Structure 1
Amino acid sequence: MRRGAFPNSSTHAWRRLAAMVLVGVVLAGAPPAEADARTAAALCDDAAVLAATETGVPVRILRALSRTETGRTHENAFGPWPWTVNHAGDGRWFSDRRSALAHAEGLRAQGVRNLDIGCFQINLRWHGHAFASVAQMFDPLANARYAAEFLTDLHREFGDWDAAVAAYHSRTPHFATRYMERFHRIYAALAPDVQNHGPRPEAAPAPASTPMRRALDTGRRPALVAARAGTGPAGLFSDAAVQPLWEGRP
């Protein structure tokens, strides 16, 4: 397994099972609508915990990032939303994965590829090649792993988590500054005692759903940086000026 993955597949499977059990415990006894909302938010949060464990990215940063990218207030609770699609400023939260995927595939059928998808709003045009399908981009764990690996690269480049998060959104200072103002508010509101579960694992082969690092290292980054220096903010390496999903929302 590659750096950032669990030492063996059985351990990995056990941790995933434990996360699902945890969600079940939290949801026990909740009203149906409230349970649905908590389940959706928990999918992003549980994926953030696992991706943080695999990569060493602080889990609180990943949880704050998913809320900055897709956070919504639903049933009186603010949290991330995995069934989120943003295209050219038209950001939409869907009630379930099937509806979100149908929307994304419908746009693709029209020739649209500039789509930000899932818990961490990974851009289809620039990063879709790292996933087996658009459906996999909606997989919270695959989405979180890619975001965490990308943040790891940015942290290596800039040497600072704040700078890495800012560059995740935009390398244009004006847009990055606005984004970080919201990120810091969300980060501060999260429990300060949230920690990664265990030490950072040693290098090992990557699971199939983990994006290969070469996707970030070759051919893409110069074009992506140029694209992000446009006239407005965008999702992760979006190539157009779009209004963020969070613009004007609590």
Structure 2
Amino acid sequence: MPKLTTNLILFFVLLATTPAAAGTFPAGGAKYLETCRNATEAMEKKFKLPKRLLNAISLTETGRWHKASREIIAWPWTVYSEGRGRYLPNKEAAIAEVQKLRAKGVKNIDVGCMQVNLYWHPEAFDNLEDAFDPKINANYAGSLLKKLQREHRSWTTAVAYYHSQTRKYYIPYRKKVMKIWQEQKRKDSEARMAKAREAYKKRREMIARKMAEQKALRLAKREGEENS
């Protein structure tokens, strides 16, 4: 962010390929599966952003297929530069990758859950430790998205400009984010409905048990009266 369409193409390929072809997370990566999601959820609340919107951007920016859960997961230790994304196993490795790129003279580098560009946003972080801190990374992205929305009075424009203000780049990006956002909201709705159904089922079962208990008590009382 901002970047050309190569990163989008990478993401489209991940979505289109089979789980096996899309690759797996680094060993021990399971502990980071909720890292970006937790960070974006916190910032959505902080900046009063539409629910799941920052998460949808994160999935678009750093999404990778997770075979076990069969879904795309945002990866916090992602580095994008020189036309390709790098999914590192941990924070230390991600920092080392950026340092290696900088040693080569590379300046255009995107980092973290939200793929904040270190060249175009030099004021975003004090150091690479902060750049790869998921909450600090998402905090900057959230504040930027909110600023863009205030300036343009539109969340869809804010999403587009988060990536680029060049039409041929932001249109496919915005479409991808909006599609993922709608899918995330659909999942939330389904989860709420499932929870409501389960709660209703439990209430019905509780009522049925109480009725059965009351019926048993009445029968026992009646039998007691008849035998007295």
Provide the rounded CA distance (Å) in 2 between the counterparts of 1:34 and 1:101.
16
2:65 maps to 1:73: yes
Q: CA RMSD in A?
A: 2.1
Provide the rounded CA distance (Å) in 2 between the counterparts of 1:34 and 1:97.
12
SS at match of 1:91: strand
Post-superposition shift, 1:69?
0.6
Provide the rounded CA distance (Å) in 2 between the counterparts of 1:110 and 1:34.
25
Post-superposition shift, 1:35?
9.5
Aligned residues: 163
Query: For residues 193 and 56 of structure 1, do their structure 2 counterparts lie closer, same or farther at Cα, with a shift above 3 Å needed?
Result: farther
* Residue matched to 1:185: 179
1:151-173 deviations in Å (ceiling 9; x for gaps):
01100111111110001011111
* Residue matched to 1:135: 129
SS at match of 2:185: coil
Provide the rounded CA distance (Å) in 1 between the counterparts of 2:145 and 2:111.
17
Provide the rounded CA distance (Å) in 1 between the counterparts of 2:161 and 2:88.
27
* Residue matched to 1:88: 82
* Residue matched to 1:53: 45
Q: How does 1:127-206 map to 2 (within 5 A)?
A: 127-192=121-186
Task: Give the TM-score taking structure 1 as reference length.
Answer: 0.61
Post-superposition shift, 1:132?
1.6
Provide the rounded CA distance (Å) in 2 between the counterparts of 1:87 and 1:98.
17
Q: Which has the larger radius of gyration?
A: 2
Find 2:33's aligned residue among 21, 33, 41: 41
* Residue matched to 1:248: none
Query: For residues 102 and 66 of structure 1, do their structure 2 counterparts lie closer, same or farther at Cα, with a shift above 3 Å needed?
Result: same
Counterpart of 1:187, as a letter, is W
Query: For residues 35 and 52 of structure 1, do their structure 2 counterparts lie closer, same or farther at Cα, with a shift above 3 Å needed?
Result: farther
Provide the rounded CA distance (Å) in 1 between the counterparts of 2:160 and 2:30.
28
Provide the rounded CA distance (Å) in 2 between the counterparts of 1:154 and 1:72.
27
Provide the rounded CA distance (Å) in 1 between the counterparts of 2:147 and 2:158.
8
Task: Give the TM-score taking structure 2 as reference length.
Answer: 0.66
Matched-pair identity in %: 37
Retained in 2: the 8 A contact 1:48–1:59?
Answer: no
SS at match of 2:106: coil
SS at match of 1:78: strand
SS at match of 1:130: coil
Retained in 1: the 8 A contact 2:52–2:181?
Answer: yes
* Residue matched to 1:114: 108
Provide the rounded CA distance (Å) in 2 between the counterparts of 1:177 and 1:108.
31
Retained in 1: the 8 A contact 2:26–2:88?
Answer: no
Post-superposition shift, 1:78?
1.1
SS at match of 1:79: strand
* Residue matched to 1:102: 96
Provide the rounded CA distance (Å) in 1 between the counterparts of 2:187 and 2:158.
22
Question: Which runs of no fewer than 5 residues in structure 2 stay unpaired?
Answer: 1-24, 190-228
1:195-232 deviations in Å (ceiling 9; x for gaps):
9xxxxxxxxxxxxxxxxxxxxxxxxxxxxxxxxxxxxx
Retained in 2: the 8 A contact 1:37–1:74?
Answer: no
